[in-house]
């Protein structure tokens, strides 16, 4: 996925077919290079591309842009996001002027801060009452059940998931959850700023309880920290969770009742409207332990923990004191320094609650009729290069190659937007919190209704305006929303080398390789969990990866803060693979098409690499970098360029650099 950090899914794009320059800086004089898809003023031509290609491609960006005070990063991707937001704001404002328009009514209610202030705590009082109802093990379990039914998830989460063992069926999946910090390490490790982060978080919890009128907010905060730390110890870590076998335990209702008999699972499922009994859990031991926690933890502490889960989920629905406090911790932890303007927060809400309504307007304005066929052309070129690439992989043996080709032949893709738009069947009125709660229940019911039914392969997992892409190994399918097919990442008017570089390599190639890497090896062409690699290929890939793990482990984005080579290996290998394969695809493409061989002194092959690199031009706050390094499987943007070109002979050839001395080559 393209996104930089652990951010809420925002999205979308600009009015006319304006280049990215429309909003990030003053409009520059458009040179030929800019028309080709390279942002001239982001370059630093004084840098030596052989020594520091990221600086060469993005030095101008680094020198001339600032991270907006209400964002935590600023990047090529963020520019697309921001341009999309401006456009969608217009859509919402026009809708708000139309009586009876659901999107307009939703947005109007969200923008009505006076009414929200007036409502006080009333919108969440029923949830707080539930939290307070935990007086013993039995009533604590009942509170968990009722909160889950309302879309608030203490302790664990539930969703619909394709059965790893049978790609045609959807089953219920329970997963660990219930933490306010991003990952277990935040509670358990003492590295870097983590102890300080815990202090800030605990102080924030205390302030939230003080806002609630709690007489002893510091005690409440201590209780919450203790319970969350217990949960963190039980959580699987991010590296373990990259292995689907570690996450899939098809124990069904009978298994749940065996491992955690004191929790009333039948009541739980009935309350959520789940009639199927086919259930997988991430880790059976987790559910045994949380049932024990409910029985042994002091009821007062559980009440605090549940109330905290409610406040965390709902503070943004309340008045400004709550919203500001909720933002304070985001800012303390290195996120946006200032709260984004209300309209942007309301847009994010509308995107999550009524995304396809926004999507229809977005696609009309930002996805011209020729964008889909041009993207499909790109996709088929990259798929073709991928097929040929299998023959060159030294770590893949012949039987595995055959299986890989068969899987590639079954791979499907979605481009732009869904053929069938979703509808939203919930009441929208003048009360913002009620609208969000209705949307939450509606979406939960929609998700859980999939359980026990066949898989719908046409469903999108992102809205069309989302600036991102994904490959789903369970469907053997990847998706490119219209939102990511935008300048400066893509345009039908760009030089094809630029489209192959940013979108062909950074998005399509990257996503496709996930079907054939260690993650993809766990699922076959139908999406059923089945290890289709031979042991020899498995060993070969592990050997090939070791070099990448070591290479990235040496990168040090801040003093003493090294990248986690293991955590990021899968994504780093996908980056390298995406570039190698898309470059081959471009060579084939240009053998059959008349392409302009050079633009403003750059050869087309150079444009390919420049475009890839510029798609990662970015600035991050130190806090955002640290969060990313600690918990994100993607390396920070700079290393997604440096790490890749360091291994790529085609890059060295294009820029007449010495060939890489000891390249790590997986793809």
Q: How many beta carbons lie within 10 A of that of residue 30, not counting itself?
A: 11
The nearer residue to Zn ion, 524 or 571, going by C-beta atoms, is: 571
Least separation in angstroms between CB 635 and Zn ion: 11
The nearer residue to Zn ion, 85 or 571, going by C-beta atoms, is: 571
The nearer residue to Zn ion, 297 or 472, going by C-beta atoms, is: 472
Least separation in angstroms between CB 519 and Zn ion: 9
Task: Find the helix or strand (DSSP H, E) in which 163 lies.
Answer: strand 156-163
Binding region for Zn ion (CB under 5 A) out of 220-228, 274-282, 568-576, 615-623: 568-576
Residues 371/491, Cβ–Cβ less than 8 Å: no
Q: How many beta carbons lie within 10 A of that of residue 637, not counting itself?
A: 25
CB-side neighbour CA atoms (13 Å) of 198: 19
The nearer residue to Zn ion, 301 or 574, going by C-beta atoms, is: 574
The nearer residue to Zn ion, 142 or 641, going by C-beta atoms, is: 641
The nearer residue to Zn ion, 112 or 519, going by C-beta atoms, is: 519
The nearer residue to Zn ion, 414 or 438, going by C-beta atoms, is: 414
The nearer residue to Zn ion, 353 or 571, going by C-beta atoms, is: 571
β-pair type (156-163, 166-176): antiparallel
| Residue-wise burial string across 436-475, b where 16 or more C-beta atoms lie within 10 A, e elsewhere | bbbbbebebeeebebbbeebeeeebebbbbbbbbbbbbbb
Binding region for Zn ion (CB under 5 A) out of 267-275, 320-328, 475-483, 565-573: 565-573
The nearer residue to Zn ion, 92 or 469, going by C-beta atoms, is: 469
The DSSP call for residue 636 is P
Least separation in angstroms between CB 571 and Zn ion: 5
Q: Name the residue among 208, 198, 226, 234 with its Cα closest to residue 301.
A: 226
Give the residue ranges of DSSP H helices in 25-136: 32-36, 53-64, 76-96, 102-111, 113-119, 125-132
Q: Which of 293, 469, 574, 654 binds Zn ion (CB under 5 A)?
A: 574
Calpha distance 610→39 (Å, rounded): 9
Calpha distance 151→157 (Å, rounded): 9
Binding region for Zn ion (CB under 5 A) out of 213-221, 393-401, 489-497, 570-578: 570-578
The nearer residue to Zn ion, 527 or 577, going by C-beta atoms, is: 577
Least separation in angstroms between CB 76 and Zn ion: 17
- Determine the distance from the C-alpha atom of residue 82 to the mean position of all C-alpha atoms in its chain, rounded to a whole number: 17
Give the footprint of Zn ion on residues 221-250 (CB under 5 A).
none
Least separation in angstroms between CB 507 and Zn ion: 10
Binding region for Zn ion (CB under 5 A) out of 453-461, 490-498, 525-533, 564-572: 564-572
Least separation in angstroms between CB 344 and Zn ion: 27
The nearer residue to Zn ion, 437 or 468, going by C-beta atoms, is: 468
The nearer residue to Zn ion, 286 or 413, going by C-beta atoms, is: 413
Binding region for Zn ion (CB under 5 A) out of 91-99, 474-482, 574-582, 652-660: 574-582
Give, to the nearest 10 degrees, the angle between helix 371-390 and helix 565-592.
110
Calpha distance 30→22 (Å, rounded): 12
Binding region for Zn ion (CB under 5 A) out of 59-67, 145-153, 563-571, 654-662: 563-571
Binding region for Zn ion (CB under 5 A) out of 38-46, 154-162, 411-419, 572-580: 572-580
Least separation in angstroms between CB 404 and Zn ion: 18
Least separation in angstroms between CB 552 and Zn ion: 14
Least separation in angstroms between CB 458 and Zn ion: 23
Least separation in angstroms between CB 569 and Zn ion: 11
Residues 574/382, Cβ–Cβ less than 8 Å: no
Least separation in angstroms between CB 137 and Zn ion: 42
Q: Name the residue among 181, 187, 227, 182 with its Cα closest to residue 204.
A: 181
CB-side neighbour CA atoms (13 Å) of 327: 21
Q: How many beta carbons lie within 10 A of that of residue 633, not counting itself?
A: 19
- Residues 6+ positions from 366 with CB-CB distance below 8 Å: 12, 13, 14, 84, 87, 465, 482, 483, 486
The nearer residue to Zn ion, 288 or 615, going by C-beta atoms, is: 615
The nearer residue to Zn ion, 466 or 606, going by C-beta atoms, is: 466
Task: Find the helix or strand (DSSP H, E) in which 342 lies.
Answer: helix 342-353
Does residue 143 touch Zn ion according to CB under 5 A?
Answer: no
Least separation in angstroms between CB 638 and Zn ion: 17
Residue 401, preceding bond cis, omega within 30 degrees? Answer: no
Least separation in angstroms between CB 634 and Zn ion: 7
Strands (E), 523-653: 598-599, 602-603, 618-620
Give the footprint of Zn ion on residues 163-192 (CB under 5 A).
none
Give the footprint of Zn ion on residues 318-337 (CB under 5 A).
none
- Determine the distance from the C-alpha atom of residue 481 to the mean position of all C-alpha atoms in its chain, rounded to a whole number: 13
Residue 414-453 contact track with Zn ion, rule CB under 5 A, x = bound: ----------------------------------------
Q: Is 330 exposed, middle or buried (0-12, 13-18, 19+ CB in 10 A)?
A: middle
Site size with Zn ion, rule: CB under 5 A: 2
Least separation in angstroms between CB 633 and Zn ion: 8
Q: Name the residue among 211, 182, 231, 198 with its Cα closest to residue 307.
A: 211
Binding region for Zn ion (CB under 5 A) out of 5-13, 348-356, 458-466, 571-579: 571-579
How far from 24 is each of 35, 74, 249, CA to CA, in Å?
17, 10, 48
The nearer residue to Zn ion, 497 or 574, going by C-beta atoms, is: 574
Least separation in angstroms between CB 500 and Zn ion: 18
Q: Name the residue among 223, 279, 480 with its Cα closest to residue 376.
A: 480
Q: Name the residue among 505, 518, 524, 522 with its Cα closest to residue 402.
A: 524
Give the footprint of Zn ion on residues 38-57 (CB under 5 A).
none
Q: How many beta carbons lie within 10 A of that of residue 396, not counting itself?
A: 22
Residue 443 three-state SS? helix
Residue 489-508 contact track with Zn ion, rule CB under 5 A, x = bound: --------------------
Give the footprint of Zn ion on residues 105-124 (CB under 5 A).
none
Calpha distance 663→611 (Å, rounded): 22
The nearer residue to Zn ion, 571 or 626, going by C-beta atoms, is: 571
Least separation in angstroms between CB 320 and Zn ion: 38
The nearer residue to Zn ion, 43 or 574, going by C-beta atoms, is: 574
Least separation in angstroms between CB 567 and Zn ion: 13
Calpha distance 291→232 (Å, rounded): 15
Interface positions with Zn ion (CB under 5 A): 571, 574
């Amino acid at each position: 996925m393209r996104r930089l950090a652990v951010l809420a899914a925002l999205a979308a794009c600009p009015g006319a077919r304006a280049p990215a320059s429309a909003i990030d800086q003053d409009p520059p004089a458009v040179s030929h290079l800019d028309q080709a898809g390279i942002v001239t003023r982001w370059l630093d031509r004084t840098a030596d591309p052989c020594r520091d290609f990221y600086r060469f491609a993005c030095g101008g960006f680094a020198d001339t842009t600032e991270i907006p005070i209400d964002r935590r990063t600023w990047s090529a991707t963020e520019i697309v996001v921001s341009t999309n937001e401006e456009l969608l704001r217009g859509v919402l404002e026009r809708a708000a002027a139309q009586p009876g328009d659901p999107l307009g009514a939703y947005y109007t209610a969200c923008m009505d801060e006076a009414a929200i202030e007036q409502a006080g705590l009333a919108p969440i009082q029923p949830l707080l009452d539930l939290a307070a109802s935990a007086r013993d093990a039995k009533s604590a379990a009942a509170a968990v059940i009722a909160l889950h039914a309302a879309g608030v998830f203490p302790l664990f989460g539930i969703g619909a998931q394709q059965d790893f063992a049978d790609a045609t069926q959807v089953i219920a999946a329970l997963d660990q959850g219930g933490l306010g910090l991003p990952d277990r390490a935040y509670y358990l490790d003492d590295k870097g700023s983590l102890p300080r982060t815990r202090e800030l978080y605990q102080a924030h919890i205390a302030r939230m309880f003080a806002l609630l009128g709690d007489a002893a907010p510091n005690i409440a905060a201590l209780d919450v920290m203790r319970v969350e730390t217990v949960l963190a110890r039980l959580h699987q870590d991010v590296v373990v969770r990259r292995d689907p076998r570690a996450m899939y335990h098809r124990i069904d209702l009978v298994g749940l009742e065996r491992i955690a008999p004191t929790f009333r699972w039948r009541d739980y499922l009935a309350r959520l409207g789940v009639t199927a009994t086919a259930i997988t859990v991430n880790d059976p031991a987790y559910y045994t332990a949380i049932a024990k926690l409910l029985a042994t933890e002091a009821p007062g502490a559980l009440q605090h923990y549940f109330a905290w889960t409610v406040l965390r989920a709902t503070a943004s629905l309340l008045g400004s004191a709550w919203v500001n406090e909720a933002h304070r911790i985001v800012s303390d932890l290195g996120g946006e320094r200032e709260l984004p303007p209300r309209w942007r927060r309301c847009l994010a809400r509308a995107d999550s609650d009524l995304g396809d309504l926004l999507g229809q307007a977005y696609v009309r304005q930002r996805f011209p009729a020729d964008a889909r066929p041009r993207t499909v052309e790109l996709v088929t070129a990259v798929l073709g290069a991928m097929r040929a690439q299998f023959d060159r992989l030294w770590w893949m043996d012949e039987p595995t190659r055959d299986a890989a080709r068969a899987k590639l032949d079954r791979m499907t893709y979605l481009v732009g937007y869904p053929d069938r738009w979703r509808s939203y069947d919930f009441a929208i009125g003048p009360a913002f919190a009620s609208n969000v709660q209705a949307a939450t229940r509606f979406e939960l019911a929609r998700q859980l209704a999939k359980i026990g039914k066949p898989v719908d392969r046409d469903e999108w997992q992102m809205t069309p305006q989302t600036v991102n892409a994904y490959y789903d190994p369970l469907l053997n399918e990847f998706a490119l929303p219209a939102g990511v097919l935008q300048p400066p990442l893509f345009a039908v008017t760009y030089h094809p080398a630029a489209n192959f570089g940013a979108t062909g390599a950074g998005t399509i190639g990257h996503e496709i390789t996930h079907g054939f890497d260690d993650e993809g090896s766990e699922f076959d062409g139908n999406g059923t969990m089945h290890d289709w690699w031979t042991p020899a290929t498995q060993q070969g890939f592990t050997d090939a990866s070791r070099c990448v793990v070591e290479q990235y482990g040496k990168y040090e984005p801040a003093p003493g803060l090294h990248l986690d080579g293991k955590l990021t290996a899968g994504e780093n290998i996908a980056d390298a693979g995406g570039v190698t394969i898309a470059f081959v695809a471009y060579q084939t493409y240009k053998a059959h098409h008349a392409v302009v061989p050079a633009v403003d002194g750059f050869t087309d092959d150079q444009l390919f690499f420049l475009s890839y690199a510029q798609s990662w031009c970015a600035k991050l706050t130190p806090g955002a970098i640290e969060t990313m390094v600690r918990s994100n499987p993607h390396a920070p943007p700079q290393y997604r360029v440096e790490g890749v070109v360091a291994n790529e002979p085609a890059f060295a050839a294009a820029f007449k650099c010495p060939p890489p001395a000891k390249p790590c080559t997986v793809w």
